[in-house]
Amino acid sequence: MKAILLKEINSFFSSTIGYLVIGIFLLINGLFLWVFQGDFNILDYGFASLSPFFYIAPWIFIFLIPAITMRSFSEELKQGTLELILTKPITLNQLVVGKYTGTFILVVFALVPSLLYVYTISTLGSTTGNFDSGATIGSYLGLLFLGAVYTAIGIFSSTLSSNQIVAFIIGVIICFLCFYGVEGLSNINLFGSEIYALEYLGISYHYKSISRGVIDTRDIIYFISLILLFLFLAKLNLKRYFL
């Protein structure tokens, strides 16, 4: 599994893909937070807070992470190298987890430079360091869990087609539906009432919950369950290629 993990990381950083992904993530966030005028501009926000960043980042991740994961298994399926890999002393579980972990590490690398934003807002306040550190830590933890779930969804999507573009589109759709689609359905007024129970099933609800700075085991269990579910589905889907 370690060999697969290192292969995934090396494949990203041996080309421009890894640097491009990190650069795009930081560029888009930087433009919205510091350049473009509007509600997301921290300088116009009036408070030393990273709330705009933690609102924008999940939406960027919806497109960014499927773009990273789309080649994970699609490329193997297209080139017919999946069977060759499995002739090595490695199980299907190790292959899926190795590719998943390698891709998730790249997502973490994309988040690390954004810690500069924390330093920036801590110096922008009327009193240096006067910002909600608890909410900031919780929001970063929420982004890590969110990125982990999106990565699992992207890995699953890449097993559905040998075409990377198709895998990307499927990944974006599933990520969007899991993040906002369920919440959107919960806001539909049926029979004079809203279906609040549906909102609890959506990623957005748990992301917002953990972003408040309060670590609830229910939120953690929810994220871990989704990760395991999509990795299991990825493994299940890969098995059909060997039937």
Tell me the pLDDT of the chain (243 aa) as tens digits.
677 777 777 777 777 777 787 888 888 888 888 777 777 777 666 666 778 888 889 999 999 999 888 888 888 888 877 777 777 777 888 889 988 998 899 889 888 888 888 877 777 655 555 566 777 888 899 999 999 999 999 999 999 988 999 999 999 999 999 888 766 666 665 544 555 566 677 888 888 888 877 788 888 999 999 999 999 999 999 887 765
pLDDT at 243: 58
pLDDT at 84: 75
E strand map for the chain: 189-190, 193-194
Closest alpha carbon to 137 in 224, 42, 54, 57 = 54
- 99 with 155: CB under 8 angstroms? yes
Residues whose CB falls within 8 Å of the CB of residue 128, separated by 6 or more in sequence, listed in order: 122
pLDDT at 130: 58
pTM (predicted TM-score):
0.87
pLDDT at 144: 94
pLDDT at 198: 67
pLDDT at 232: 95
Sign, CA dihedral 50-51-55-56, equals: negative
Sign, CA dihedral 79-168-20-111, equals: negative
The conformational region for residue 161 under phi > 0 = left, psi -120 to 50 = alpha, else beta, is beta
pLDDT at 45: 63
pLDDT at 114: 85
3 state SS of 110: helix
Residue 25 has a CB neighbour count (10 Å cut-off) of 21
Domain ranges of the chain: 1-242
Label residue 46 exposed, middle or buried (CB < 10 Å: 0-12, 13-18, 19+).
exposed
Name the helix (H) or strand (E) containing 49: none
